[in-house]
Amino acid sequence: MTVAAALRRARLDASLPVLSVLALVLCVLVLLPLGWLLWYGFTDKTGAPTLVNFARLATDRSFVGPFLSTIAIALGVAALSCLVATPLAWLVARTDMPCHRFVRLLVMASFVTPPFLGAIAWEILAAPNSGLLNQWYRALLGLDPYAHVFDIYTVEGLTFVMACYAFPYVFVLVANALERIPTELEDASAILGGGRWHTFRRVSLPIVLPSLLAGALIAFLQAMTQFGAPAILALPAGFHVITTKIWSLFQFPPQYNLASAAALPLLAVSVLLLRGQSWLLQGRGYTVIAGKSGPPRRIALGAWRWPALLFALAIVASPVLLPYAALLKAALVRTVSEPVTWSALTLRNFRFVFLEFSATRLALTNTFILGIASATVGTALALVAAFLTARRLVPGARLLGFLATAPAAIPGIVLGVALFIAYTRPPFVLYGTLMILLLAFVTIELPAAYQQLQAALAGLHPELEEASRILGASRLTALRHITAPLLRSSVVATWCFIFIGAIRELSATIMLTTANTKLVSVIIYDLNESGDLGAISVLGISLLVITFVTVAIANRLPTLGRGGTAP
């Protein structure tokens, strides 16, 4: 290739225009809605600057109470998640417990399950009067019809349900950390006379502790910013958390300025916690300096193998086994309290949902389209951003990385408020369209997708990309034909992660949907207010089936595509 040809190809490289467009997209996704949120929070209805909104938040008991309740519940969820996930992760990752892969699969199923759907399932199970567990308790002991041992409509019940769907975050991080502990370190401790407890305390725990702390932080943030479970369990109990309180401010007459001001403390707490995590972990990292380590040696439990399995199944029964059984029962009988017999089984709920209920088809279509579109757009955006920042191809790459990770500090309900305010006025009037929901889902899931792909790129040497550049390919061509095929498994995993997140999301969705853009999650929430548990169960099962089938197909794509021409 001549020098002139090389210079001509360099001039045609689209990396700089792509960077500019990407930066603009990220600015629109993040900065535009937050700018409007700040404007409304610090102004009154006339647009005049004021701090009255924040003064009311600090003095009005109807706002102080939900803030304090939110913090208390989030702390309880984080503590309970760590208490449950840590021993379960140790049993799955480091012991010879039977069926450990099956237990891990059930934990992943709890991650896929939307928390609002789990809350409804636990309504079926543990409502004080009609709950199945309380019915069995009364029948077993012959008690009066109003006796109960479980009451899900309490602060403790809400904390329990939210922990059921937050502990998988802690489990995944701790289990992965346990599996990465080099066997040689534990062997060296044993050779020097250290017992199992000493080895765990001085070797294993310091390596796992950062992951445990990160998991606790994620569980806390999930609980603090979640809308679905509190709306289903807290509002009937007569108390608010901050997300339900913000949502109530959009009821007629809407109070946009006060809602914006109430959302900003959530944003501030999220930013401070994320910064606090970095500060706490600074200087406390543990780096293994060694060659390739062997797989971790599993600890023999001996006679405790089967009791350990029962303990693990008891844990996963709360987020998966019992709720799934309750939903299936409610879908197949006329009333939830009716015992399961051949004569009681019916398909009436399925006929109602799929043949008579007019909103079902539109909601399923919207949900599937948005899930696919969000996963595809979000993965492409994260891949390009990660490629440009990991390779530091052009000036400004650090700014892209900051913009791609900034939405991690934006709770879903805060983003919903911000997008509602930003896109109900010119120049971008998107409220009432699926586009505003697509923006919300992509923004919420972008940080995790970007970080996952950037980590994958860090482990991929750029030699092949450089070779393609020498042969005249542009950077985008190298990304499309060289890098992306080599990262196929990471790309598919990222796509699945975003798809699951879009299906699970309710906090932002509840703020942004209209009659023509409702999703299955919103339909389930609306039906819950009318108490139609049979239809809810059918829709919930359909949502789970769509999620599991789509993720399974997506995970098959790398296998199906291995016969391609990617190097």
In CATH terms, the fold of domain 14-39+366-513 is: MetI-like fold (1.10.3720)
Where b means 16+ CB within 10 Å and e means fewer, 452-491 reads: bbbebbeebeeeebeebbeeebbbebbbebbbbbbbbebb
Contacts of 214 (CB under 8 A, 6+ apart): 173, 277, 281
**Percent residues over pLDDT 70 in the chain:** 81
- Nearest-angstrom CA–CA distance, 7 and 14: 14
Looking at residue 192, what is its pLDDT?
A: 58
Looking at residue 188, what is its pLDDT?
A: 64
Task: pLDDT band for 404, please (50, 70, 90 cuts).
Answer: confident
Place of tokens 């998640």: 81
Task: pLDDT band for 426, please (50, 70, 90 cuts).
Answer: confident
H-state helical runs in 95-204 = 100-112, 115-126, 132-141, 155-164, 167-179, 183-191, 196-199
- Nearest-angstrom CA–CA distance, 331 and 533: 8
Q: Which CATH number fits domain 50-286: 3.40.50.300, 1.25.40.10, 1.10.3720.10, 3.20.20.70?
A: 1.10.3720.10
Q: What is the pLDDT of residues 236-285, one digit of tens each?
A: 989 999 999 999 988 878 888 999 999 998 888 888 887 766 665 554 44
Place of tokens 């999703």: 519
Contacts of 249 (CB under 8 A, 6+ apart): 255, 256, 258, 259, 262
- Nearest-angstrom CA–CA distance, 107 and 125: 20
Q: What is the pLDDT of residues 137-150, one digit of tens each?
A: 888 887 777 778 88
Domain boundaries, the chain: 14-39+366-513, 50-286
Burial status of residue 197 (CB atoms within 10 A of its CB: 0-12, 13-18, 19 or more):
exposed
Q: What is the pLDDT of residues 470-526, one digit of tens each?
A: 656 666 666 666 777 777 778 888 898 899 989 888 888 988 998 889 999 999 998
Contacts of 452 (CB under 8 A, 6+ apart): 382, 490, 493, 494, 497
The answer to whether the beta carbons of residues 475 and 414 sit under 8 Å apart is: no
Contacts of 96 (CB under 8 A, 6+ apart): 298, 299, 300, 301, 305
With 70 as the cut, is the pLDDT of residue 200 above it? no
Where b means 16+ CB within 10 Å and e means fewer, 86-119 reads: bebbbbbbbbebeebeebbebbbbbbbbbbbbbb
Task: pLDDT band for 561, please (50, 70, 90 cuts).
Answer: very low
- Nearest-angstrom CA–CA distance, 298 and 98: 12
**What is the mean predicted confidence (pLDDT) over 428-439?**
90
Q: What is the pLDDT of residues 337-374, one digit of tens each?
A: 777 778 888 899 999 999 888 889 999 999 999 999 99
Looking at residue 308, what is its pLDDT?
A: 93
Q: Which of 165-169, 273-277, 317-321 has the lowest mean pLDDT?
A: 273-277
Q: From the CA atom positions of the chain, what is the Rg in Å?
A: 25
- Nearest-angstrom CA–CA distance, 23 and 388: 11
Q: Which two tokens stand for residue 40?
A: 């409304």
Looking at residue 209, what is its pLDDT?
A: 80
Task: pLDDT band for 6, please (50, 70, 90 cuts).
Answer: very low
